[in-house]
Amino acid sequence: MAYEAEAPIWWCPKDKTGLANEEVVNGKCDRCGTTVERKMLKQWMLKITAYADRLLEGLEKLDWPESIKTLQRNWIGRSEGAEINFQIDSHVITVYTTRPDTIFGATYLVLSPEHELVEVITTADQKKAVEKYQKSVASKSDIERTSMEKEKTGVFTGAYAINPATKKKIPVWIADYVLKSYGTGAIMAVPAHDERDWEFAKKYELPVAQVITTPNPSSSEEGEPSVWTGEGTMMNSGKFDGTDSIRAQRAITSWLESQGSGRGAVKYKLRDWVFSRQRYWGEPIPLVHCVTDGVVPVPEKELPVLLPEVEKYEPTGTGESPLANVPKWVNTTCPKCGGPAKRETNTMPQWAGSCWYYLRFTDPKNTKAMASDKAMKSWLPVDMYIGGAEHAVLHLLYARFWHKALFDGGYIPKAAGDEPFIKLKNQGLILGEDGEKMSKSRGNVINPDDIVAKFGADTLRMFEMFMGPFEDAKPWDTNGLVGVRRFLDKVYELRHKVSNEGGANGLDALVSSITKGIEQFRFNTCVSDFMKQVNEWKGASEIPQADFETFLKLLSPFAPHLCEEVWHGLGHKTLLVTESWPSFNPDKVKSDTVTIVVQVNGKRRASLELPAGSNQATVEAAAMADGNVKKFVIGKSKKMVFVEDRLLNFVV
């Protein structure tokens, strides 16, 4: 799965290291925020692209937020289409398109500024303009370049290509919205049937040729046909006129294949993972470079390769790791021939460890293997994973790839499955008191140590649960801590009312609501239920000890320190945390109504109080009557995920 290749990579000038595509956010390093650059460097790569289809297919069996699945699907970016060859003098430019039915409407070609043929085909009178443009786009990120919002720019190369369908000469341009890393680094432009091509053609006064009829024909202000990106009936397309455009896609691909001008193809946006970093911190890559034997793995008995003790570990900025400057560590012998060799000096990215730590958690003290089959069969796959949405195409995608590769290699038993995390929950961000994301620059950071010192750890813990729904972002409110602290003080004082005389009344309803609340991550409603119970006891002269102990068991996950203290004060010698979870009698807690959460693409939009056992049609009708749900769903195609008495999720 690993190979070494010279490739254009993102380079952070501040951290002085290469970055993976996934580590560049809006053209900046995700670690330090510095604008990145493009560099050609020899790198170790991992073939994540070999797993593209399985990574897509595997999403269907995961109970993950639809938004995270969509992010992964879009990042992998699978598409079906055709590769079509355009002749430029003695050279051939191959373009990839998902719409081969529009080939007769291709009126110009666009190459990425980095395409290897740009220098070859550019005419002398256009050379300066092309070079200037190439330089201007060198530091832009892929996201910046392909944004639909930004104004389209480009430069004519001076060259012309032959459209294989019409046999007409069409101009060849370069533009930053075409990426070398996606498809073939070249596109055929069909301005009548593509918004981006339309904007570009209008700006540079390039020809427009309509080849698919629109359902409501209209003209633009200039009298040209308006852009239509949907399906229709073929026109101005030779023998394919009158054909449905969807059928024409396959027919035209076959026709081009028969002429030797194209073929059907599947493409992905996903690129192989750049897996080496030019920095000291990181797991050393366990390889040596031998003049005789080439790249040789370090024998297992010599693993792990440890970082050397050094005085300077700052990046060099030369493209070499700081480890290259430690001759005692670098110079070694080849495990294969015994001759002189040098260690690989690049280190692994920070994601290497996070790809498999959960596997080691199943058997952390094993000195002979990553983990035993018995332990992995017992613990895997991970039933519930809590993590931030920001790792959608970083840790979460990488871990899935790594897991599948290890599974295929026989390192993970079949019983453990080929997916690491079955259910995923995204926690909401706690914002600053100003409603903005906490950051030092904004001065709105809340230090939890200060809160613990003033209010106690249990108060902080419980207040975070009380702030709102688990998955929602919510602003911090220091004043809200006071109420939670008062509640805990009341619980502590209730110990004076505890009596072991008389029978318990039973807390079946509370046990039921807290149990379900924890299972459904409704921690805020659990805290509310605790407060209601304490208020009920406020006027009581005595509280049965059995009831109070049940209450403490329920409260313990929320306020463990206080509960252990009170439990001990009641005369117990063992820890409360070792007690069994309370049970309840379902017959005593039957409710006529239930709360059903309504989501759109995994995001909560409403909560409905409906009769228990309501069917999907009833819940859907009630959901569509809610304005906050309706505005996100109305007029869109949708699927529904329905869990009786609990959830209705519209996937639009």
| 597 shares a domain with 644 | yes
Q: 642: closest CA among 628, 631, 622, 634? A: 622
285: in domain: yes
Task: Return the axis-axis angle of helices 66-76 and 395-408, rounded to nearest 10°.
Answer: 70
Least confident interval from 25-34, 78-87, 155-164: 25-34
Which residue carries 């009641």 as its tokens? 570
Residue where a domain stops, chosen among 343, 374, 402: 343
Distance CA 352, CA 359 (A): 13
| 330 shares a domain with 359 | no
List the domain range (segments joined by +) for residue 244. 79-267
The DSSP bridge partners found for residue 603 are: 600
Which residue carries 């990553």 as its tokens? 370
Residue where a domain stops, chosen among 267, 289, 309: 267
Band of residue 16 on the pLDDT scale cut at 50, 70, 90: confident
Please check the confidence at residue 346 and state whether its pLDDT lies above 60: yes
Distance CA 30, CA 24 (A): 6
Least confident interval from 26-30, 183-187, 215-219, 430-434: 215-219
- The model carries a pTM of 0.74
> Residue range 202-231: average pLDDT?
76
- What proportions of the chain, in percent to the nearest 5, are helix, strand and coil? 35, 25, 40
339: in domain: yes
Distance CA 581, CA 553 (A): 7
> Residue range 189-216: average pLDDT?
91
| 238 shares a domain with 199 | yes
The greatest distance separating any two alpha carbons of the chain, rounded to the nearest whole angstrom, comes to: 101
Helix (H, G, I), strand (E, B) or coil at 532: helix
Band of residue 222 on the pLDDT scale cut at 50, 70, 90: very low
Q: Are 77 and 142 in contact (CB under 8 A)?
A: no
Q: Are 351 and 308 in contact (CB under 8 A)?
A: no
Torsion from C-alpha of 428, 430, 434, 438, nearest 10 degrees: -110
The DSSP bridge partners found for residue 597 are: 607, 647
Please check the confidence at residue 220 and state whether its pLDDT lies above 80: no
563 burial (CB, 10 Å; 0-12 / 13-18 / 19+) is: buried
H/E element, 50: none
pLDDT per residue over 412-469, tens digit each?
Answer: 999 999 999 999 999 988 999 999 988 888 899 999 999 999 999 999 999 999 998 8
**All residues at 6 or more sequence positions from 548 whose CB lies less than 8 Å from its CB, including other chains:** 494, 495, 498, 570
Taking CA atoms, 80 is separated from 63, 544, 559, 643, in Å, by 27, 69, 54, 34
Band of residue 312 on the pLDDT scale cut at 50, 70, 90: confident
| 362 shares a domain with 319 | no
| 501 shares a domain with 543 | yes
Task: Return the axis-axis angle of helices 480-494 and 560-569, rounded to nearest 10°.
Answer: 20
Choice between 429 and 400, residue whose per-residue pLDDT is larger: 400
Check residue 98 and give its pLDDT. Answer: 93
Please check the confidence at residue 223 and state whether its pLDDT lies above 80: no
**Radius of gyration over every alpha carbon of the chain, rounded to an integer in angstroms:** 31
Check residue 582 and give its pLDDT. Answer: 95
- Cα–Cα–Cα angle for 452, 457, 458, rounded to 5 degrees: 140
Kindly report whether the peptide bond that precedes residue 475 is cis, defined as omega within 30 degrees of 0.
no
33: in domain: yes
Q: Are 487 and 531 in contact (CB under 8 A)?
A: yes
> Residue range 184-200: average pLDDT?
93
| 495 shares a domain with 401 | no
| 150 shares a domain with 42 | no
- The encoded tokens of residue 361 equal 């958690």
Taking CA atoms, 564 is separated from 142, 433, 568, in Å, by 54, 32, 6
| 184 shares a domain with 101 | yes
> Residue range 317-323: average pLDDT?
81
205: in domain: yes
Please check the confidence at residue 343 and state whether its pLDDT lies above 70: yes
Please check the confidence at residue 218 and state whether its pLDDT lies above 80: no
Check residue 17 and give its pLDDT. Answer: 84
Work out whether strand 169-175 and strand 108-111 pair parallel, antiparallel, or are unpaired.
parallel
Band of residue 400 on the pLDDT scale cut at 50, 70, 90: very high
Percent of the chain exceeding pLDDT 90 equals 68
Torsion from C-alpha of 152, 155, 160, 164, nearest 10 degrees: -20
CA atoms within 13 A on the CB side of 189: 29
- CATH code for the domain of 538: 1.10.730.10
Distance CA 281, CA 347 (A): 7
Taking CA atoms, 420 is separated from 355, 395, 637, in Å, by 10, 12, 31
Distance CA 545, CA 479 (A): 33
| 622 shares a domain with 602 | yes
Taking CA atoms, 332 is separated from 324, 343, 346, 385, 611, in Å, by 13, 7, 16, 42, 74
Percent of the chain exceeding pLDDT 70 equals 96
Instruction: Name the most confidently modeled range: 16-25, 30-39, 56-65, 318-327.
Output: 56-65
62: in domain: no
Mean per-residue pLDDT of the chain: 91
H/E element, 560: helix 560-569
pLDDT per residue over 525-579, tens digit each?
Answer: 999 999 999 999 988 889 999 999 999 999 999 999 999 999 999 999 999 999 9
70: in domain: no
Distance CA 612, CA 608 (A): 11
Residue where a domain stops, chosen among 540, 573, 588: 588
Distance CA 272, CA 250 (A): 29
Choice between 505 and 621, residue whose per-residue pLDDT is larger: 621
Counted domains in the chain:
5
Distance CA 63, CA 636 (A): 23
- CATH code for the domain of 256: 3.90.740.10
Choice between 145 and 326, residue whose per-residue pLDDT is larger: 326
Which sign, positive or negative, has the C-alpha torsion 384, 388, 391, 393?
positive
Check residue 500 and give its pLDDT. Answer: 85
Check residue 347 and give its pLDDT. Answer: 95
Please check the confidence at residue 481 and state whether its pLDDT lies above 70: yes
pLDDT per residue over 239-285, tens digit each?
Answer: 999 999 999 999 999 999 999 999 999 989 898 999 999 889 899 99
Q: Please, what is the end-to-end C-alpha distance for the chain in angstroms?
A: 36
Please check the confidence at residue 72 and state whether its pLDDT lies above 50: yes
| 113 shares a domain with 235 | yes
Please check the confidence at residue 221 and state whether its pLDDT lies above 50: no
74: in domain: no
CA atoms within 13 A on the CB side of 616: 8
Least confident interval from 70-84, 380-394, 494-508: 494-508
Distance CA 534, CA 488 (A): 10
**What is the 3-state secondary structure of 439-478?**
CCCCCCCCCHHHHHHHHCHHHHHHHHHHCCCCCCCEECCC
Check residue 645 and give its pLDDT. Answer: 84
Q: 200: closest CA among 108, 292, 78? A: 108
| 97 shares a domain with 216 | yes
Helix (H, G, I), strand (E, B) or coil at 535: helix
Distance CA 315, CA 323 (A): 9
258: in domain: yes
| 295 shares a domain with 174 | no
